[in-house]
A and B are shown apart, each in its own frame.
Chain A
Amino acid sequence: MPDESRHPGPLAPEAGGEPRVEPETGSASLSGGSSPQKSGLVKYGELIILGYNGSLPQGDRGRRRSKFVLYRRQKANGVMRSRHYPVKTPQSAQAIHNNQLHSISYTLSRHQAVIVEYTHDPTTDLFQIGRSSESPIDFVVMDTVPGNQVQERVNAQSTISRFACRILAQRDEDDLTCRIYAAGFDSQRNIFLGERATKWETGQQGVDGLTTNGVLIMHPKGEFCPPSNSASTTPPATSKPGIWREISVGGSVFGLRESRSAALQGSPVPSESNTLVDGTLIDLCGATLLWRAAHGLANSPTPRQLERCLDDLNAGRPQCPVGLHTLVVPTRKNSNHVAPEAQPVVYLSCGHVQGRHEWGSLNDSKGSKTCPICLGASSTALLMMGSEPGFYVDCESPDYAFVPCGHMASEKTVKYWANVPIPCGTSGFQSACPFCAMPLTGTPGYVKLIFQDKCD
């Protein structure tokens, strides 16, 4: 068993939906009542894996879950760079064998390596993310399978590094800056960059490098989820996706390599930094994480707000124009109680929402049907609420759905994500539904929903 006390992670969400943790014990707090603020917890933010709608399909357990909340630790566990020195063989270096000492070893050639030692930093907290279930990993991230599916082949090749990246968070309440770095320390508190990894010497006789598949980040342009100011007449400016960059082991910013694991690093981008901002995306090659800073999350809808939106919609008793029965848009909570005929279906070309029926099949390869309302040909999807609040860029009602999966979200939210290129393959990009990771199809990749309130 990993030593949970040394690496407290966020644990099971409490009844209210807000996961929290008691850093001292690392044990789940399932009791309601006092909020993290009240109990003295300082929240840095949340890391949410794209492709899950509030939890993993097999359920959230321990450090393996769909999102990870970073709280200030009871005791600082951050590290900072101290000295570095060349060695002939890193395996023989004392720092490598000292399990109390964090170190990064850059193998430059067969008989030449540089070791950078790290010492305890009382001003920062360290959080590590990767595929490994070993104790140094706070947030275990596996490859995302689109469509809220569980990976079928257990031993499928993963492209995510076991110790993929690390985040250092400033413990100062007035400055909770979080910075990201490629690679994480293993159980021996070492990071090894082997002979074949991309690395180079830096100005002050230091070294830096990239991990095999790299850690890419994308900061949004503008505020990801601006405060909704009802007093103001001008709508808050919407953010736009930025440009994907690569982060080095030392935390510097580079342009993308020619392909994902090419040997040559991209050009340095000194004007940009590895400081996470609200809405920064982190791509680990196999899974993409969204960083939501605590202050940004305060502008996002709460799970209750989203539920209320849906309750309002269902209270309008939308009808199936064919069966003339009432439809119920399911949430994760009530999905088991919604009768099959009440499950709404959206016609993805026109947005008309109806119940399930067999009329209008066109017998083509895509399973298209004729929409009974507008007689247009369209593929269809079961309508499902986008329940993960962190993916919303505003608190408006979920009047739109992604195509082809049918996950509902607000207008600005679908428009934002339809414009976000998510890295896929060795050098490709593809926009996807954040709630299930299905690549969006067609243009624009979303549709405005049209409900029938009264069928006449």
Chain B
Amino acid sequence: MAGLPRRIVKETQRLMQEPVPGISAIPDDSNARYFHVVVAGPEGSPFEGGVFKLELFLPEDYPMSAPKVRFITKIYHPNIDKLGRICLDILKDKWSPALQIRTVLLSIQALLSAPNPDDPLANDVAELWKVNEVEAIRNARDWTRTYAMGN
């Protein structure tokens, strides 16, 4: 695509050549700034076995501002809301142009391993996670099975 900044070209090339284990990110055929992302639920987490689709968009002034990332697959997680929006500091005020698509996706993968109910986006999920973690984890597993496996 003409006029694509060299940095985006380089990042894309590296994502294809050396993909991060458990993550795939493929640019859209018609828009090189739009990525189809698939993240595998991390081992040992309630999301294990699930395959989560996300969309990632690089805004015009990327990397001076953060990529926009959203879960498409429904997920039961205290930091991800019904619309798939993600509460992650590096996507907001802690963004730095030294971060990359790769590091953002790694951070999201880590967020699945370590939910943080003290900084919630989905309040009901976070509440249950705090008062009854066993039940919350069971819900997360159920949702993973229902929405993130095989279909």
Interface assignment of B63: CB less than 8 Å from any CB of chain A: yes
Kindly list chain A residues whose C-beta atoms are within 8 Å of the C-beta of B21: none
**Of B11, B63, B96, the contact of A375 (CB 8 Å cutoff):** B96
Contact present for B63 and A322 (CB under 8 Å): yes
Kindly list chain A residues whose C-beta atoms are within 8 Å of the C-beta of B53: none
At the interface, is chain A mostly helix, strand, loop or mixed? loop
Kindly list chain B residues whose C-beta atoms are within 8 Å of the C-beta of A354: 98
Contact present for B6 and A373 (CB under 8 Å): no
Interface assignment of B102: CB less than 8 Å from any CB of chain A: yes
Contact present for A325 and B98 (CB under 8 Å): no
Contact present for A324 and B64 (CB under 8 Å): no
Kindly list chain A residues whose C-beta atoms are within 8 Å of the C-beta of B64: 357-359
Which residue in chain A gives the minimum CB-CB distance to B103? Answer: A456
Contact present for B7 and A324 (CB under 8 Å): yes
Kindly list chain A residues whose C-beta atoms are within 8 Å of the C-beta of B94: 375
Contact present for A324 and B96 (CB under 8 Å): no
Interface assignment of A323: CB less than 8 Å from any CB of chain B: yes
Which residue in chain A gives the minimum CB-CB distance to B93? Answer: A375
**Of B7, B10, B11, B98, the contact of A372 (CB 8 Å cutoff):** B98
The CB with the most chain A CB atoms within 10 A, among B10, B98, B99, B102, is that of B98
Q: How far is the CA of A324 from the CA of B97 in the complex (A)?
A: 10
Which residue in chain B gives the minimum CB-CB distance to A358? Answer: B64
**Of B14, B97, B100, the contact of A357 (CB 8 Å cutoff):** B97
Kindly list chain A residues whose C-beta atoms are within 8 Å of the C-beta of B97: 321-322, 357, 359, 372
Interface assignment of A231: CB less than 8 Å from any CB of chain B: no
Kindly list chain A residues whose C-beta atoms are within 8 Å of the C-beta of B102: 456
Contact present for A323 and B96 (CB under 8 Å): no
Kindly list chain B residues whose C-beta atoms are within 8 Å of the C-beta of A455: 98, 100
Kindly list chain B residues whose C-beta atoms are within 8 Å of the C-beta of A373: 96, 98
A370 to chain B minimum Cβ distance, whole angstroms, is 8
Total residues of chain B contacting the partner, CB 8 A: 15
Which residue in chain A gives the minimum CB-CB distance to B8? Answer: A324
Q: How far is the CA of A358 from the CA of B97 in the complex (A)?
A: 10
Contact present for B6 and A323 (CB under 8 Å): yes
Which residue in chain B gives the minimum CB-CB distance to A341? Answer: B6
Which residue in chain A gives the minimum CB-CB distance to B14? Answer: A456
Given known A-B contacts A358-B64, A359-B64, A323 and B98 have beta carbons under 8 A apart: no
Q: Mark A412-444, 1 if CB is under 8 A from B, else 0.
A: 000000000000000000000000000000000
Which residue in chain A gives the minimum CB-CB distance to B106? Answer: A456
**Of A324, A357, A359, A360, the contact of B11 (CB 8 Å cutoff):** A324
Within B18-73, the residues touching A (CB, 8 Å) are 63-64
Q: Mark A291-326, 1 if CB is under 8 A from B, else 0.
A: 000000000000000000000000000000111110
Q: Mark B1-13, 1 if CB is under 8 A from A, else 0.
A: 0000011001100
Kindly list chain B residues whose C-beta atoms are within 8 Å of the C-beta of A321: 97-98
The CB with the most chain A CB atoms within 10 A, among B94, B97, B100, B103, is that of B97
Q: How far is the CA of A126 from the CA of B36 in the complex (A)?
A: 79
Which residue in chain B gives the minimum CB-CB distance to A456? Answer: B102
A408 to chain B minimum Cβ distance, whole angstroms, is 22
Kindly list chain A residues whose C-beta atoms are within 8 Å of the C-beta of B7: 322-325
Within B94-127, the residues touching A (CB, 8 Å) are 94, 96-100, 102-103
Which residue in chain B gives the minimum CB-CB distance to A375? Answer: B96
Q: How far is the CA of A372 from the CA of B95 in the complex (A)?
A: 8
A343 to chain B minimum Cβ distance, whole angstroms, is 16
Q: How far is the CA of A372 from the CA of B98 in the complex (A)?
A: 5
Q: Mark B71-100, 1 if CB is under 8 A from A, else 0.
A: 000000000000000000000001011111
Kindly list chain B residues whose C-beta atoms are within 8 Å of the C-beta of A456: 14, 100, 102-103
B89 to chain A minimum Cβ distance, whole angstroms, is 11
Could you give 6 example pairs across A and B, Cβ below 8 Å?
Answer: A322-B98, A324-B6, A325-B6, A354-B98, A373-B98, A456-B100
Residues of B within 8 A of A (CB): 6-7, 10-11, 14, 63-64, 94, 96-100, 102-103
8 nearest CB pairs, A to B: A372-B98, A321-B98, A372-B96, A322-B97, A324-B10, A324-B7, A373-B98, A359-B97
16 other A-B residue contacts (CB within 8 Å) besides A322-B63, A324-B11: A321-B98, A322-B7, A322-B97, A322-B98, A323-B6, A324-B10, A325-B6, A357-B64, A357-B97, A359-B63, A370-B96, A372-B99, A455-B98, A456-B14, A456-B100, A456-B103
